[in-house]
Amino acid sequence: MADQVLDAKGLNCPLPILKAKKALKDVPMGGTLQVIATDPGAVKDFEAFCRTTGNELMESKEDDKVFSFLIKRTS
Amino acid sequence: MADNAGSNTKKLSMIVTKGSLDWAYPPFILATTAAAMGLEVSMFFTFYGLTLLKKKLDLNVTTLGNPAMQMPMFGMHIGMPNLMSAVPGVDAAATAMMKNLIKKKGVASIEELREMAVEADVEMIACQMTMDLFEYTMDDMIEGPVLGGAATYIETATNSDINLFI
């Protein structure tokens, strides 16, 4: 279970990323944030976001057009 | 920005020249996203782009000179002939339609993105020459932008990793 969960369903680019960035600030170092989104572009975007910011994308999965990303705050 | 010229932080600079509803999106989407990804961002607002800094935004789209504009309607995509723009109310209707779609599709408003850019410490520079040309004062603008000119931008661009003209 993630330390924090962000529901970004129904939001379009770039809002899931912007809201995730805000939410990550409240996650302790080493803690995790789960983002739930329906924007299919978010799959590649969260990979790029994590690579660039130095956070770890631990999991990226889809279930019936709902995407879930698990990010570990490491920066 | 110059005092950070030696730091390792990646930098993005943008020249924002257009002030219509559709053209307002690319600069604010990229600025907020880049800031969220840890970049230092500077936006230089000039000519019609300057109006995007006004306190009260009244953004519109036009079908004029925009042959690629196709609105999803009645289950298909309807092109908007250039000349339709001359018919009173057509641009207003196209703008209303666009704003409707924006809301329906969960796309952020320009006001929302602009506020997030200010919150994320995106540097905003209002072109002094354009301010003078179109007779604006800083009182017309939101809190945050500072005045600058071409030399200010060139210095910023020289120290940036990415420079965009939008």
Domains of chain B: 10-62+110-165 (3.40.1260.10)
Q: Could you identify the residue written with the tokens 């969220």?
A: B36
Asked if B62 contacts B20 with a C-beta cutoff of 8 angstroms, the reply is yes
Q: Taking CB atoms and an 8 Å limit, are A12 and B105 in contact across chains?
A: yes
C-alpha B37/C-alpha B123 separation (Å) is 15
| CB-CB neighbours of B139 under 10 Å | 6
In this complex, which of A12, A20, A52 lies closest to B38 when CB atoms are compared? A52
Kindly report, residue by residue over B45-54, the tens digit of the pLDDT. Answer: 999 999 999 9
In this complex, which of B29, B36, B108 lies closest to A21 when CB atoms are compared? B36
Q: Taking CB atoms and an 8 Å limit, are A18 and B33 in contact across chains?
A: yes
Domains of chain A: 4-72 (3.30.110.40)
For the entire predicted model, the pTM comes to 0.89
The minimum CA-CA distance between B59 and chain A, rounded to whole Å, is 20
- Beta strands A32-37; A66-72: pairing state: antiparallel
Q: What's the ipTM?
A: 0.88
For range A21-25, the mean pLDDT: 95
- Beta strands A56-63; A32-37: pairing state: unpaired
Q: What is the pLDDT of residue B7?
A: 67
Q: Taking CB atoms and an 8 Å limit, are B106 and A11 in contact across chains?
A: yes
